[in-house]
Every structure is written in structure tokens, then in C-alpha cells.
Amino acid sequence: MRLRKLSLDLFGHFAGKSYDFGTAGEGKPDFHIVYGPNEAGKTTTMEAYLRLLYGFDTREAYDFQHQRKNLRVSGVLETTQGDLALTRLPTRAASLVDDSGTALPDAAIAAQLGGLSADDYRSLLCLDDDTIEKGGEEIANSKGDIGRLLFSAAAGVSDLTTVLDGVDADANALYLKRSSKSEMAQLKKELADVTAQIKAHDVPASAYRKLRQTLAAATAQETEIGEERSALIAQLAEIKAKQTALPLLQKLDQVEAQLAPLADYPATLDVAPEDLVQMLTKQRQAEADISRLTGEMKTLTAELEQIVRHPDQLNLESDLADLDGARSRFATAQLDLPRRAETLNTILSDMKAAASELGADGDPAQLIIAPAILARLEQAREAKRAAIQDLKAEQDEIKRLSDRVIIAQDNLERSKETTPDNAVIGDILDRFSVDSLAPAYAKAAEAIASTQRQLTTALANLAISGQSFTSLPSQPLTAQEVVALAETHTELARKIAQTQDEIDRLSADAAGLEAQIQQIRDAGAIIDDATADDEMQKRDALWLTHRETLTDKTADQFETALRRTDETAQRRLAQAKDIGQLRQVMQNLAETQAREGQLRQRLEKQQAKQSTISTQLSDVADEMGLSRTLTPDVFSKWVQQVETAYSAEQQLRITRNEHAAVIEKSNRLVTALSDHITLDAPDFDTLVTTARQRDKAAREIRERQNTEQRALDDLNAEHSKRDKRRDDLTNAVATASAAWNELVAECLQNQVDPERLELSFEPLRSLRELDARRTTAARQVEAMQADQTQFSAAITTLATKHGLEVEDEPLVTFAALTDLANAAQAAETDHATLTAQLDERRTAITQARQTLEDIEREVAELGKLFPQHVPAQSVDDLRHAVTKAQEAIAARKGKAELETQITGQLHLPDITSARHALENTSPTMLDAQAMQVQGDLDEIETRYRQAIATRAEAAQDLQAVTGDNLIAELTERKTTLELAMQDTALRYVELHAGHMLAQEAIRRYRDAHRSSMMDATQQAFAELTNGAYTALQTQPDGTSETLIAIDAAGRAKQAQDMSKGTRFQLYLALRAAAYEQLASQGTCLPFFCDDIFETFDEERTKAACKMMERIGRRGQAIYLTHHQHVVDIARDVCGDGVRVHEI
Amino acid sequence: MIRILHTADLHLDSPLKSLALRDESMRDVVQTATRAALVRIVDTALSERVAALLIAGDLFDGAARSAKTAAFLVTQFDRLADADIPVFYIKGNHDAENPITGEVALPTNVHVFDGRGGKVQLPGTNIWVHGVSFSGRHAPDSLLDKFSAPIPDAINIGMLHTSLGGAAGHDTYAPCSEADLQNMGFDYWALGHIHKRKVYGSAPWIVMPGIPQGRDIGESGPQSATMLQIENGEITLSEVPTSAVTFLSHAIDVSTLTADDLLRDALRQTFRDLGNTAGETVILRLSFSGQSERHWHILRDRALWEETARELARETGKLWIDKVSFDLNAPTSSDSNNATDELAQIMDAIRNEPGFSGEIAGMLDTILSELPAHLRADLLPDQDAMHALASDLTGRGAAQMIALMKGATD
């Protein structure tokens, strides 16, 4: 592919810049130099080419003049399939179009680019200062892998090292020897961690078994020590027992000695000495009792013989008791009877008084009536009273009604006196619908007044320079026209002033220049151009003459002329500066004068135009009636005011037309109302207000009359209704009175006056109550008198029976009888008491004798218990013997207890063996033994506690083995980690093996392809250095290799030892070789270099140009430069093999 | 009806082997799956009120030797003891090897048959359980002669840990044939040892219940225990699901998936389908298969695809990727003759050079020495294996490099 045409339609600072690289001539190299000074846009051109191929950048750097959306680059590419005319647009989609504007896919170009990306193209086929410098440095520092350079260039792909490095990094991330960061190392660390955790927390089978064994051993140990400890405790207990038993044994010996004399005393005794003391006391008591009782019996017998008894009077007491109720009633009656009789009499007199109150003088009992009858009487009396009450109320009501009728009639009369006018005004108001007309009239009147005011104001505003206007002036021109004229006038005035200024300035300049000329002329004799020309012409003429004749004379003449011209020229050369200056100043003067003339013409034209406008405006002002001439500016403003006044008048007319109908109707209403309402100046608003007030007053009076008439009618009707009702009630009263009189006569046997009864029923009710009390009092009196009679009879009978004299007063007799009965009863009682006391004394004496006998018998019995030699006949003797016997018993018991204690302490069956055990021991010896054993025990106690702790710990350890899943989880993690390690290892091998393979494969590929590349580079380098270097070699350096150049003398030189320029040449040679390689693979693209020969000397620049030409033979080479000498050298070296394009 | 639950090969606390467990969220979901399986079995025994639980060997795993395992086992057996459910257990080769077996104090409801064999009547039934344990880790001869004759007019169940006929080249464990078992006159053979469930015969029943919880991709698919229903002297079977985690292999054909989006959609769809049909938690080994124009692209971006697959799987909440393998066939139309193709040919040639393969073997040896010894032993049982592995890895590495280089040129 080659570039035929490139157009920077809109790109960078270019618009429409294009290059035509023409067609590739047969046999001619396709080598182009684009020449332009700095900043001319060489780099821009190269970038434009890349945009054409690859499209615009999203953030375009070349949009500083034309906006990105407007950028556009086009060109024609020659391809094997024919020419492609393309345009690149900055659009996102379909940015590539052909010359017919049809969008093309990017693939249309991509197919020609051999798979190079924009970056590839730039780094492989576009060389500039920067890239060549970096490339050169890379070679020098051996940083760039030469092989890689060769390979990537040859392979036509971007370098694979990135891929290899990436894989290598990936592999190293997985595993790197001695690295602690690699995945494998991390996994190992994690694994170690988990394994340690398992080890720390797990109880494996073996440990579990050990735990169980430990527990068994600990248990056995505990048992063993426990037993030992028990033995020691027993031993200590034995010693302690002996220590306790030893003093007991001594005590036993003492008791035995004490017991020896009392050996034959009884072993047991039922009697205590206290019992015997009691027995002695009892004996003495019994003897004392017998003597006292015998004395008492004698006294009692004497008393008994003195008592006299009356058996016949023993019943009297009960007889008197039977009469006691009667006696009590008799005594009461004696006090109450007179008071009761008096009460009865009082009641009877009260009854008589009550009857007389009712006007009855017969038996009051006849006036006592049943409650039912009394109720009937009350009912009749109530009926009569109610009838009278109703009648009275009705009469009062009729009287009040009569009063109200009189008042109502008065009111009606009065209001009829003020009868109002007829309702004409109301009709008129309705007819004109005043409610809607009034606001419409107000609005219309206001609108007209407002516009009228505007017109008046506008006319007043027209007043100017003492002249005022009452009517509107005529208007020959519109305001706009006048304003336009005035503005033109003003503009012209401004221009005239400007022109005048410029003329003044130019006049001054001309004057200055003339002065300058004069000064130069005055300064010295200047040979002016005319003189010089003249001499030259003379010389030329003489020369012609001499040439024709060739004589000495003509030669001399010519010589003289020649000398003169030379002299003149010499002098003029000396004066050159002054002449040049003079020429310049004179030229300037001419220019200035010419411009001044031109300006004066322009000024005249402007002034003429201005006066025309002034005339036109003053004509108009006259026509409008202005008495004074105004400036155009003021005049135009005044004309605008006139226009305002016109429009105000127009507005007034329109408003009047709008409201004509309303005004007309209002006027008619005023006329109609004026007939009925007399006003001094009847305007619309006043008339309507007055009419409305009058209409309202008339309507109110009519309404009041109607109300009053209706009230009077209602009152009359009510009056006649009430009269009828009163007559009915009068009849009812008469009927009720008759019924009452009749009932009173019937119920009270005509003894009572009905009128007196009507006043009160109280006497009747009192009579009824008094009668009830009278009955009760009479009955009580009778009962008391009967009781008195009965009691007196009974007393008399009893007194006679017991031989007592009967007294008048029965109560005295009763008292005497009572005394008799009491005396008989007392004698009987005393007799019985004494007899009982005697019997009691007799029994007590018998008992005391019995007691004495018992004691004697018991003493004899107890005495038999004791040995013969012990006196025991009396109770006292016995007491002594018993005390001794008890001592013996207590001593024996003490002995037995001591023996029990001793044998118990020593755990021995009998005292004999105990004595045997305690033989040959002493307290001191036992203390010593005890201390020793205690020491042993303390020591074993510590061991015992330890054994228990150990056993408990072992048991706990065993129990701590729970079924939690900690270990299972850790094991699972461990397994996963191991899997991950395995996976990592295999992945590492996979990657690493792949990497090794690829590296080796690339190396072999390189070797396979390097010779052609190396040859090409070597040839290019030799050419570029004009044979200073003849060969290139590579030298292995670790994993990479270094490029070494061999100079003409056969010396090897490393890149870093070369000069900068030479290094650049080496790099350029590599690039050129790569281009060859690419081209030979069928990828042949334009090769751009941007001023890279700067560091080359002339010879090598020549060589470089030749190399570019050679590239041009293979493909297309485009060299961009701002150095003319490069262009010259290229032309020199390549002749027409190079085409130069200037920017 | 009487129910008896039959299981074997629990391999308690034997860890799952999958890289999916590197994912912490996965670890949170599934931990100690073999324990979960035992708990499920015990749960089922309790809820179904079985008359007995039969464990036909390999209760323990040879490698899991923590006393905690035993403690956990005891707690589970205690649950059965509380419900008066007896457990019948014969020791398999793993149990015989595992020192824990002898150290555990099993509850009284567990009847362990010894190496001399024996029989026990199931209380309150006419069912007899016979069993013989392994006495060492190997049992090269048949154990059938240690069984006593079946009890007449009763249901006789025989418990035996056996590799049956066995496979050539592998150790045989208590070998016997199906015919041998049939001739013994038992009604049900409760077998163990082979981890893949299989019913060998129905008259009598010869049942290998399979491992209740698969531990790696080799034990894939849902796992179960076998439930016997005995009614009127007849035995019928059903399966009781037990696995907490299911291992699955799945291949996705990428031949027609010509764009990244299509491939991603296909992955998403595949995961959705798998998620709907599979159990609660699935460890998936995914492989890309087929022949695609995008062969090199896919290979080049394999890390990306692997991560994509993991991410999409994680989104389902139940699928977890164990590994993604790329078993793709290279496109046949390779007429272009560019540098990478030439490189590929060179690499292929180098791969088979003895010098290079020796170097790779050395490197493999070096890095494998970083691994724990038992892993190495598993990975490289012999010298041939080393070379095979080296060759395989080199092949993969070469393909990967070519893909990357092609990617770099695209």
C-alpha cells in the first residue's frame, strides 16, 4: 500500500492543505521529502496520516483550531486491489467514507495494514527524534533485547515478551524458591498453621489411650495411698485411746478400793432416802390429826342439841311465792287507778267540744264516721272548689282580652293615617334594571374620562419653545421617517468630523515630511537617481560606439565614461543610505498627499448630503406649524410626541363608541326619574340613590299595616270563644254545691252544718281519734279493780291458816307471813349442816389410824433387805441404811462405766485384757508415739491430696474429649489446603513449562529468522556509516544478547561505546532491516521519518538519504524535515529519485 | 411393619476433597459433611422408629484418628440408645486399621460382632442379625464360613464387609461371589465396602448401600442409606437420602457459543437448571467442551472464565465450583501461516525432546517435593506416572501459551 494523496481538510491549524505524492514511477524510488520551517506542521501531517488510517482519538490533541466534530482528513491510498479514496470523519460510527460519501468498514483499511495497530504503526514505521533516541539508548544499555527487536520486527507483531513476562510473573506468583510471598509459600504457611492447630487441639487415638491409662494409674495410686493413710490414722487413734484410757484405769482402782467395805449391801434398792423422810413426815402428821379431830367433835355435838325445828311451816314459803304476781299487781293498781279514771274523763269532755265545733249538740258518738265516708266527703268538697276556681280564671282571661282588642284598634287607626305614595318610582327602577345599569355606567364614565385625560396630557406635552398646541398638528411624515433622517444627519456629522480630523493629521504629516526632505537635501550634494541613470546611459552609448569602432579614442572616451560612472557609483554607494532615506521620505510624502486629496473629496460629499437632509426636515417642520426651526434630534423627538397625541385621540374615539349604548340608556333613566324626584342638579348617581331610598320607605309602611290588621282579627275571634266557655263553667259550679250539701246531710244525720264542715274536716278526724283512746282507758280501769279484790281474799285465807291476825292492809299481812316462813326454813338448814360436819370428823380419824399401821408394816419389810448388823427397825435407822446402800450402788456403777470406757477406748473385750494392754505404758511414752505417728500422717496426707488431684485431672482430661467438630473442620481445611497446594504446584508446572517452551520456541524462531534480519541490518548499517562499520554480531549476555559492531579495522565495538549519532544509525539500520523484513512478508506500508538525521554528519546524511531512497524502491519513504541542507543533500544524492513537497 | 436402616462406609470425619472448600462462604455452608450424614441417618432412624440400625463396616476412616470422632459417634449412638434402638456393627478394613475403634466405649445398645462371627435376635421379633467383623486390615479369604446357619422360620439378615469379586490388581477384601451369598440361605445381605450403591439381587436381597456422603468428585451424585420394610415375612426396600453435599460433573458445550455474552448466558442457564434439580448444596466440576471458533479466546481468558463461573455459581446460593477444566478441541481450519502457528509447531517439537522433558520432570520433582509426602505418593505412584503427568502438564502449558500469544496478536 502506498499513499497517493493526503488532504488535511480540517486538522490542526490546517484547512484544505493537501499533498500529492503522485504515482510510483516505474523504476523510480518512491521517496518523498516534505520540507517546511519549524511549526509548519510536519508532525501534524504525519499524525493526519495516522488518523486517516486509524480514526480520530477520543480526546483529540489536534482540535485546537477546528472543533473535534469538524475535523476531517482524506486521502487516496494505492492498494493491490486498486485505489481507495477515503475520508475520515470524527464520528463514533461509520467514520470512514469513500469519495461518494458511502460509509466503509474499518476492515477496508485494516486489510491493507497487515494487522498493525496504530501503536504498532507508530513504533515500527514512524520514527522521530524521540523514538530514535530511546531506541539508541536501549541498544546502548543492552536493555532492549536485540533478539526481541529483530523478532518482533520480523514477525510483524508487537512483542511477545509481555506475554512471556506475564506468564512468568503468574508462575512466580504461584511458586518461587525461597519466596515467602508466593501462593505456594502462603499455602504452606497456612498448612503448617492448621497442622499446628490440629496438633494443639486434637486427641489422637494414642493420646486417648494414654489418657485412659493415666486415669487407671492415678486411680490405683490414689487407692494405695488411701490405704496407707487409713492404717496410720488407725495407729494414731490407738495411741490416743491409750492416752485416754490410762487415767481412767487409775480412777477405776480408786473406785474399787472405795467399794470394798460395802460389798454385802444390796446391789439394787427400790427405795430412796427421800422416800423415807416422806414416810416419817406422814407418820407424825397422822398422829397430830387424830388428837385435833376428837376435840372438834365434842363442840359440834353441843351445838346440834340447841336447834328447834317447825316442820308445819315449811310449805308457807311456796304458797307466798305463788301469790307474789298478785301482790305486785295490787301494789301497782293502788298507785295507778286514780290517774287512769281522770284520763278517761278528760277524753270524754274533748269529744263533746269537737262535736260542738261542728254545731252538733247531741251524742258525739253519732259523729264518728268510717274513713271511706270521710274520703267521699272530701271528694265532693274538692269538686265544688275546683268548679269555682275554673270559673274565676275564665273571667280574668276575658277581661285581659278586651283590653288588648282596644289597643290593637288604636294602632290600626294610627297607621292608616300615614298612607304612602304610589309605587311609581319602584316601577321605573325595575324597568331600567338599575342593579346592572349602575356599575356599567360607572365603568363607561371612568373609561371615557381616563382617555380624555391622556389626550389632554399628550397635547400639553407638545408645547415647545413657547408655542403650545390645543389641536393636533398635521403629520406629513411618519415619526419613523423623521427619526431615520435625524439619525442619518447625526451620523454624517460624526463622519464629517472624523474626515476633517484625518485631513488635519495628514496635512501635518506632509508638512513634516517636506521638512525632512529639505533637511536631507540641505545636508550635501546628493547625486540623485536621474543623474546616475544619465551617466550610465552615456557610458553604454560610448561602449556601443567603441565596440563598433574599437579605436583608442573611443576606448578612452568609454574609459572616461566608465570611470565617471564608477566614480558616481562609488559616491552613490557612499551616499547610499542618504539616497535610500530620501527616496523613502519622498515616496511617503507623495502617499500622504494623495490620501489627503482623497479625504477632501469625501468630506465634500458628506457635507452636501447633510445639508439636503437639513432642508428636508425644516420643510416638514414648517408644514406641521412649528414657528421655530429645531435641531434634527429635538425635532425627531417632538414628532414622536405628536404621534403619541394622535394615538391618544384615536383611543378617546374608540372608548366613546364602546360605551355609547350604556350612556344613552343612563340618560333616559335620568329623564324618567326627574319627573318624580325634584333635585337641583339631577345627575345620574344622586338620582338613582334617592329613588332607591324612597322606594324602600314606601314598601316598609305597607308591610306594617298588613301585620296590624291581621293581629286585630285574631283577638276578636278569641274573645267570643272565651265568652261561651264562661257560661258553661257557671252551670258546673251550681251542680257541685248541690251535690256537697246532699252528701253532708246523708252522712252525718243532719246534725252538722255543711258550710261549717266545708271549712274543715279536722273536728271529724279528732272525734275519731278521741273515741279510740276513750275505749282503751275504760278497759284498764276495770282490770285493776278486779286484781285488788282477788289478792285481798287470798291473803286473808293464808293468815287464818297459820294463826295470824288479819290486818286492814293486805300487804302488811303478807309481810308477816313471809317472816314466819323464813324462820322455819333457817332452823332446818342449820341442823343439816352440823350433822354433816360430825360425820366428816369421824371418817378422818379412821383414815389417820390406817396410815400409821401402813408405815409400821413397810418399815419392817425394808429392814429385811439389809444385813443383820445394820440397824433398821425405825424409819430413821432405815434412812441411814438406805443412804449407805445407795453409795455402794453408785460406786459399782462408776466402776462398770470406767471399765466400759477403757475397753471401749481400747476396743478390747474385757478389762483384764485392757489392763494387760496398758501394762508397761506411761503417758510420756504415749505422747512420743503419738507425735511420731502424727508426723507420718501429715506427710501421707499431702501425698493423698496430690493423688486425688492427679486422678481428678486425668478424669477431666478424658472427659474433655468431646464430640465437637473442631478437628474435623481443621482436617477438612488441611485437606483443602493440600489440594490447593497440589493444584498450585501443577498449575505452576503447567505455566512454567509453557513459559520455557515458548521461550525456547521463540529463541529457535529467532535463530531461524535472524540471519536474514542480521544481514539486512548489517548492510544498512555499513551503508549508513559509509563502510566505517562492516559487520554486526551478537554476543550472548546472560539470557539476552548484546549487539556488537565490527569496524573496518576489524575491532568490535559495543553500542554504548559508539557516539550518539552512530547509535542512532544503528537503530535506524535495525528499523530499515525490519522494514525490509516486513515488506518481504508482504506488508509494505509508507515509512515516515521525522527529522532524524540531525545528529548525522554530512556524509552519513547522504548515506541515510540513499537508504531512504532504497526503502522507497521497496515501498514508500516519506521524510519530514525543516533543514534545507537535508533537502539539498537529498537532491544531490538522489537527483530526481526524490520528490520534494513544501508546506 | 418393621423398619431396619442399613448403611455402611460412613468414613466418619473423612474430609471432603474439593477446591470449592477454599471459598470461605462455602465452608460456612458445609462443614464436616460426613457428620451431617450420620446425623441424618440417626434422625431418620428416630423419626421412622426403626427396629435397628445396621452399619456394615468402615464406620471410621483410616486417616481420621481423632478421639473427638469417637466422642461424636458415641453422642449419636446415645441418641439411639435413648430411643431403645439397637445398632449392629461389623468392623470393616478401615475400622480394623483405625486405632480409635478399639478405644471407644460404645453405648450398650451397640452390638459389635467380632471376628469369630455371631448372631443376635432382634428383641420382640422373629428377625436374626448375623455378622462377622474384620479382625485385621486385610481379609484375603472369604468370611462366609464364619456365619452360622440361618435360623429356620425366621428372617435372617447377614452383615458382611466385602469387595465381592473384587477388581483385578486391587486388594481383595473378604472376597465372595453373589452365588456364594445366595447359597447361604439368608433373606437379606447387608453389605458394605463398595461406595457406589448397588442392589445385586432380590432373592435374597444383596445390597451394597453405598457411601452416605460422597467425599470427592469420584463419589459423585446424591447418596443414601437403605431402608428395609419387613411385613409378613416380605422385605421391600427404599432409599433414604443422606448426603449434605452432592458432587457433580457437568460439561458445557461451547461449540455454538460465538460470543462472550452467549457463553455467559449459557453458564447462567446451566447453573439455574442444575440448581433446580440438584440437592441443597452441590460441588460442581465444570468442563468446557466442544470445538469453537473462539477456541484461543476462551483458552486465553480461562482465568476470567473460571472466575465468571465461580461467581455465577455463587449467585445460585447452592452451587460451588470445584474446578473448571477446558477440554476444547482446537479448530481444524488452521491454514494461516503466521508466526504463532510456526511457534506452536516448534513448541510441539521441543516438547517431545528428551532433554526438555527431562528438565520438566526435574522441575516437577522439585516442586512436588514441597508437597506433603502422602500427596506426592498419591499423585505419583510410580515413575511412569511422573512422566505422564509432566507430559500432560507441558501439553496444557503449551496450549495456554499459544492461546496467550494468539491473544496478543488479535
Inform me whether the C-beta atom of residue A967 falls under 8 Å from chain B C-beta atoms.
yes
The three cell numbers of residue A899 are 471399765
Compare CB distances from A184 to B22, B370, B396 and report the shortest one's residue.
B370
Substitution target from B302, B346, B389 for chain A, most A beta carbons within 10 A: B346
CA-angle at B135, arms to B131 and B139, nearest 5°: 90
Q: Within chain A, which residues score under 50 in pLDDT?
A: 144, 156-158
* CB-CB contact of A951 with A141 (8 Å): no
CB A115 within 8 A of CB A157: yes
Contact A982 B375 (CB under 8 A): yes
Strand order in the sheet with B246-253: B246-253, B282-291, B319-329
Between the CA of residue A470 and those of A456, A461, A629, A636, what are the distances in Å? 9, 11, 20, 20
Residues in chain A: 1143
Residue A282 forms contact with B (CB below 8 Å): no
How far is Cα B389 from Cα B400, in angstroms, rounded to an integer? Answer: 16
Provide the shortest C-alpha distance from residue B329 to chain A (in Å). 18
User: Within an 8 Å CB–CB cutoff, is residue A974 touching chain B?
Assistant: yes
What pLDDT is recorded for position B128? 95
Q: What is each CA distance from A60 to A51, A899, B150, in whole angstroms?
A: 10, 130, 95
pLDDT-based confidence at B335, cuts 50/70/90? very low
Tell whether A969 lies on the interface with B, counting CB pairs under 8 A.
Answer: yes
DSSP string, A1103-1141: HHHHHHHHHHHHSEEEEEE--HHHHHHHHHHHGGGEEEE
Q: Do B397 and A997 touch (CB under 8 A)?
A: yes
CB contact (8 A) between residue B396 and residue A994: yes
> Of chain A residues 159-218, which have a CB less than 8 A from chain B?
160, 162-163, 166-167, 175, 184, 188, 191, 202-209, 212
Residues of A in contact with B401 (CB under 8 A): 163, 167, 994-995, 997-998
Smallest CA–CA separation between A15 and chain B, in Å? 36
**Residue B149 DSSP label:** P
- Give me the residue label for grid cell 559508539: A1058
Nearest-by-Cβ selection for A1005 from B15, B34, B346: B346
Could you tell me if A985 lies within 8 Å of chain B, comparing CB atoms? yes
Distance of CA B379 to the CA centre of its chain: 18
- Given an 8 Å threshold on Cβ–Cβ distance, is B67 in contact with A988? no
Which chain B residue is nearest to residue A983, measuring alpha carbons? B19
Q: Residue B407: list chain A partners with CB under 8 A.
A: 163
Report the alpha-carbon distance of residue A163 to residue A524 in Å, rounded: 87
A206 vs B99, B404, B408: nearest CB? B99
pLDDT of residue B30: 78
Measure in Å the smallest separation between the Cα of A82 and chain B Cα atoms: 24
Which residues of chain A are within 8 Å of residue B397 when distances are taken between CB atoms? 989-995, 997
* Residue pLDDT, tens place only, A109-160: 877 776 677 777 877 788 888 877 777 676 666 554 555 555 555 554 445 6
Which of B15, B98, B350 is closest, CB to CB, to A971? B15
Do the chains contact at A971 and B375, CB–CB below 8 Å? Answer: no
Encode pLDDT of A418-474 as tens digits: 655 556 777 788 888 888 888 888 888 888 888 888 888 888 888 887 788 877 888
Residue-wise pLDDT for A732-755, tens only, equals: 888 888 888 888 888 877 777 777
A931 at interface of B, judged by CB pairs closer than 8 A: no
Give the whole-number percent of chain B exceeding pLDDT 70.
Answer: 95
Q: Give the pLDDT band (50/70/90) at residue B212.
A: very high
Contacts of A175 in chain B (CB under 8 A): 367, 370
pLDDT 10s digits, B254-309:
888 877 888 899 999 999 888 887 777 899 999 999 887 778 788 888 888 999 99
Contact A894, A255 (CB under 8 A): yes
CB contacts of A973 in chain B (<8 Å) are 21, 27
Instruction: Supply the DSSP symbol for A1026.
Output: T
Q: Is A115 exposed, middle or buried (0-12, 13-18, 19+ CB in 10 A)?
A: middle
From chain B, the residues in CB contact with A167 under 8 A are 400-401, 404
Per residue in A975-1016, pLDDT tens? 999 999 999 999 899 999 998 888 888 778 777 776 777 788
The DSSP call for residue B12 is B
Instruction: Give the tens place of pLDDT for each residue, B114-168.
Output: 889 899 999 889 999 999 999 888 888 889 999 999 999 999 999 999 988 866 5
Residues of A in contact with B96 (CB under 8 A): none
> Where do runs of H (alpha helix) occur along B189-256?
none
CA A609/CA A489 separation, integer angstroms: 8
Chain B environment of A969 (Cβ under 8 Å): 31-32
Q: Are B77 and B87 in contact (CB under 8 A)?
A: yes
Contacts of B375 in chain A (CB under 8 A): 978, 981-982
Which residues are CB-neighbours of A764 under 8 A, at least 6 positions away?
A358, A367, A369, A374, A757
What's the gap in Å between the CA of A109 and the closest CA on chain B? 16
Residue given cell 439411639 in the structure block: B80
Tell me whether residue A164 is exposed, middle or buried, using C-beta atoms within 10 angstroms of its C-beta: 0 to 12, 13 to 18, 19 or more.
Answer: buried
> Does the distance separating the beta carbons of A994 and B356 come in below 8 Å?
no
Give mean pLDDT, residues B355-376: 86
Q: Reduced to 3 states, what is the DSSP secondary structure of residue A18?
A: strand
CB B357 within 8 A of CB B390: yes
Per DSSP, the residues of B326-360 read: EEEEPPS------HHHHHHHHHHHHHT-HHHHHHH
Pairs across A and B, CB distance < 8 A: 200
Which residue in A974, A980, A989 is closest to B364 by CB distance? A989
Would the CB atoms of A965 and B31 count as touching at under 8 Å?
yes
Residues of B in contact with A1005 (CB under 8 A): 339, 342-343, 346
User: Which SS3 state, helix, strand or coil, does residue B158 take?
Assistant: strand
Q: Has this prediction a pTM greater than 0.90?
A: no
Contact check, Cβ <8 Å, B69/A209: no
Q: Taking the CB of residue A193, how many other CB atoms lie within 10 A of it? A: 14
pLDDT the model gives residue B354: 85
